[in-house]
Amino acid sequence: MSAQQTQEQGIELWQIRAECRGPQAEVFFPPPHFERKVDRLQRERRAKRICDHCAVKDQCLEYSLSIREPHGIWGGLNENERKSVLELAVLM
């Protein structure tokens, strides 16, 4: 896919290199039904392990913080962890 094609489709270039593309993407967001805490923690651990090997982890985290993404695992952090990062940034 060319840079022009990705811009036309609203895809950031770094997203093409994301480790979470494909079927494993489902562990990055909560299911549509109730999720027990133990299941959420297990799902998030699986997602974070994928993030640990992702070449675009820094870009992903930066993007999610810039848009205040409220859901899911981005850049190895869940929504509460990203919220803490943003709160710390305000204090600095």
20 makes contact with ligand SF4 (CB under 6 A): yes
Eight-state DSSP code of residue 17: G
β-strand partners of 77: 74
77 makes contact with ligand SF4 (CB under 6 A): no
Return the SS3 of 65.
helix
Question: According to CB under 6 A, which one of 27, 56, 78, 82 is a site residue for ligand SF4?
Answer: 56
57 makes contact with ligand SF4 (CB under 6 A): yes
54 makes contact with ligand SF4 (CB under 6 A): yes
74 makes contact with ligand SF4 (CB under 6 A): yes
Please identify, using beta-carbon distances, which residue of 39 and 52 lies nearer to ligand SF4. 52
Return the SS3 of 13.
helix
- How far apart, in whole angstroms, are the C-alpha atoms of residue 48 and residue 27? 9
Q: What are phi and psi of 74, to 5 degrees?
A: -135, 130
Residues that bind ligand SF4 (CB under 6 A): 18-20, 28, 50-51, 54, 56-57, 60, 73-76
